[in-house]
Structures are given as structure tokens and as C-alpha cells.
Amino acid sequence: MGNLRNLIGKQIRMIRKQRGLSQEKLGELAQLKNSYIGDVERGARNISLDSLEKIITALETDLGTFFKFSEIDIASNDVDKQESLEVHTQFLQDRTNDEIKLIHKITRDILNGK
């Protein structure tokens, strides 16, 4: 379950930065300690559902948007293989079967050096 904890932390950090919030400000808005926010963002701490709800509300987003991990930059060095696969799978969820087949063909061609 560590992967989900890490993905949630990365998502919080990404949205927080997009909103121009510091950890301190997010902590204030969510009524949580900023050190807790930092620990959650690093995946060093388990987050309760109540705290996650406070953070999502403070970030002014909704559950559906929050759990779309496809925006996480998988090219960054702090995303491991399993997290990359989960983000990639999330990205493909809303695609049609034909789009998925095309993406697969393009990927296969790239890997085969075409």
C-alpha cells in the first residue's frame, strides 16, 4: 500500500504548488500541522480519510479530480516503476479501445526503434 500513499502525497504536493500554496498555508487552511503536510507529501506518513478530506477541501478540488493521478510527472526522478505504471494506467482509463491500441502500437514502434 505504500504506492498509494506515495501517489497521494505527490498529488497533494502537485495541486498545492499549482495553487501557489506553501505547506504552512495548506496546513492552516486544512487545520493540520505543516509538518504533517510535509510528511504526507513525502509518503512518510499514513494519512487518515478525515485528514485527506480536509486537505482536498483546502485545495479547493473534488475527489474525482484529486484521484486522477495522470497529471503526476512520471519523468521526475521521485516516481518509481510501480507508481509510473499506476499513473499510466490511470491515464488510459478514459481512452477508447481504439486509442489504447494506437498508443500501444506507437509505444511498441518506439521500443523497436522504428
> Percent of the chain beyond pLDDT 70?
88
Q: Coil, strand or helix: which one is 79?
A: coil
The answer to whether residues 59 and 16 touch, using CB atoms and an 8 Å cutoff, is yes
Mean pLDDT across the chain, nearest whole number? 86
pLDDT given at position 114? 65
Single pTM value for the model: 0.68
C-alpha span between 56 and 66 (Å, rounded): 7
Q: Which domains does the chain have, with CATH numbers?
A: 2-111 (1.10.260.40)
